[in-house]
Every structure is written in structure tokens, then in C-alpha cells.
A and B are shown apart, each in its own frame.
Chain A
Amino acid sequence: MSDKKRVSRRQFLNYTLTGVGGFMAAGMLAPMVRFAIDPVLQTQEGGDLKSVVSVDEITNEPQRFEWTINQVDAWYESEIQKTAWVYRNDNDEIIALSPICTHLGCTVDWASNEEYPNQFFCPCHAGRYTKDGVNVPGTPPTAPLPMFEHEVRDGMLYLGDAKSRKGA
């Protein structure tokens, strides 16, 4: 048995002390590091997609669907109702539009004005949008209706946040 392989008492004590000290230091540092990078670890509230409707129910004609999400506002949590106009376009893609008028925030309706049967109509100031949600020039709104992020999973349509788009 060679002496080199043997661990001396001094070395043994050194190793144990470093080991134990290391653990203690790590124990103190870990919560501090966690605290420092806390915002990175927060789960994204907005990115959540919610199941809204079965894909079979979506037609070429825009239909109004409602669902609820939990919204955390600084101090309290509330359940708010969201609404979307959903249809399939000519390329068989699903389009989900926000019903909030980009002018002053009224709720727009599909084909509610007899003169414009193929447009979204805002009852407040006669703002109009074509079927793809683009605002009709000459009416009060200056931007298209926001579009919801969407995903189809297991035959259900999931909707997320509404993304605003650039004006026409």
C-alpha cells in the first residue's frame, strides 16, 4: 500500500470542512440567487391559451364566442369575460377577432347594419371593418380589429391574447 493513496488526517479534515462549509454557503446563497432572478422564474400570465369552442362549430360566418379568464390586477384577482368573433376564411384558416372597436372601445357586431351585411359594424359611431377585421377608411376607427393568438388541440380551439395590428 503506497503512502500517496492514503488520506492523511489533515487532508481528511480539510475535505470534510470544505464540504460542510460548501453546503452551508450554498444553503445561504441559493435563496438569495433565487430572489435576485425571481422575475425570470415567474410564469407568464398572458401566454395562457384557453379552450373556447369545438372546431366543428366554426363556420364561414363569424360567430360570437365567450369564455372567461382569471385576471390578476396588482391586488386582487378577478374573472373577466372575453369575447371573440370566430370564423373560417376562404383558405380554411381559423380567424379569431377581438370585438373591441379600435376607436373608443365599443363592442362591434357582425352584419348588424342592413346596409353593410358583410362587415363588422360598431353601433357607437358607425365604424366599419371588413370580414378580415380591417377598418374601412373613412369611418372613425384607425386600426384593424386585434386578432387573438390561436391554436387547435384535440379538436378544440384555444385562444390567447389579442394582438393589435397596424392601421389600414
Chain B
Amino acid sequence: MRLSKTDVAQYLPEKEYIDTVIVPLIPFDPSSDTDLSKQAFLRELNQVFTNVIEKEYRGRIFLSPDYHYMSGSHASEIERVNQWISQFKQQPFEHVFLFTFDVKWKKHEQNLDGHLLWVPGIQTGNVQSTETQSFVKEQAREISEFIQSYW
């Protein structure tokens, strides 16, 4: 399920079945050219990942709109992330997963109210290439197994 009219219309009456939400955490920094191209790639990769997972498990997972933030501002972002999570939990979503390639969240993991799903991404590449696609498929399977262990 996504934040779209048709999906939400399907979600609301079936709330009891859809108890998991994935929030993609996506950093960017428009002031630096080198970071920007790396972050653009990781953002695309993040979307490919979450789309694959959403497609397979759309009957139980709600894909939240992307959470964007300035890279390096983790300490100050924690409160806002937790606010998102607490709002989702009011729905009620039982399991909240934060999906990110940004390793810096790892340090703040214990302060986050959701389960951090940090995946080591790939630095550069092409989202269309077969290497990337097999990487995504393999990782997505692992991630969904991890999520299923919470159900």
C-alpha cells in the first residue's frame, strides 16, 4: 500500500491486516556536488528497494512517503523521525521499519522508536544494470525475511 487514493481506500477498511509501515530515510545535501551525485543514486536505489518490497507484501506493508533530511543532521532529526513514528502508531501500525543506506543512523539506533533497517548500499552504479538488479533482489529477500520475523 502507498499513499495514493486507491490504496488508502483499500487500506482503511482492512486496517487490521496491514500492521507494518516502512519509512525510507533519504539524506541529501544540495551544497556539495560530489555528495549530491552519490545521494541521488542512493535515493533511486532506495526507491527501487522499497518498491520491490511493497509490491511483494502490499497486503501487509504500507510504504510511507520518503523522509528526506539534510545529511549530517541526524541528532536533530531524531525528534522528527520519532514524531512520524508515533503518528503512524496511532493508525495503529504495530511495526515501524526505517529503511536507509545511511550508516550514521546506526549510532542513534537506540533513540529511534522504530526498527532501523540499515543496508550497506553500493557506492555508484546504474539502477538499470543487471548487477544492481540482482543485488536488489537478493537483499530484498533478506530484508523481507527480517521483516517477517517480526510478524
Which single member of B58, B144, B148 contacts A105 (CB below 8 Å)? B58
By a CB distance below 8 angstroms, the chain A residues around B55 are 107
A122 within 8 A of B: yes
Q: How many residues of A contact B (CB 8 A)?
A: 11
Q: Which residues of A contact B89 (CB under 8 A)?
A: none
Q: Which residues in B have their C-beta under 8 angstroms from that of A103?
A: 17, 59
CA distance A32 to B144 in the complex (A): 56
What total of A-B pairs shows CB separation below 8 Å?
32
Q: Is A104 an interface residue (CB 8 A)?
A: yes
Q: For residues 1 through 52 of chain B, which have their beta carbon under 8 Å from a beta carbon of chain A?
A: 10, 14, 17-18
**With the chains together, A125 CA to B59 CA distance in Å?**
8
User: Looking at chain B, what size class is its interface with the partner chain?
Assistant: 10 to 19
Q: Give the residue name and chain of the B residue nearest to A103 (CB).
A: B59
Q: Does A22 contact B (CB under 8 A)?
A: no
Contact with A along B60-81 (1 / 0, CB 8 A): 1000000000000000000000
A123 pairs with B57, CB closer than 8 A: yes
Given contacts A105-B58, A140-B17, 14 further A-B contacts (CB under 8 A): A103-B17, A104-B18, A104-B58, A104-B59, A105-B59, A106-B57, A106-B59, A107-B55, A107-B56, A122-B59, A123-B148, A124-B57, A124-B60, A125-B60
The interface of chain A, by Cβ under 8 A from chain B, is 101, 103-107, 122-125, 140
Q: List 6 A-B contacts (CB under 8 A).
A: A104-B59, A104-B60, A105-B58, A106-B57, A106-B60, A107-B55
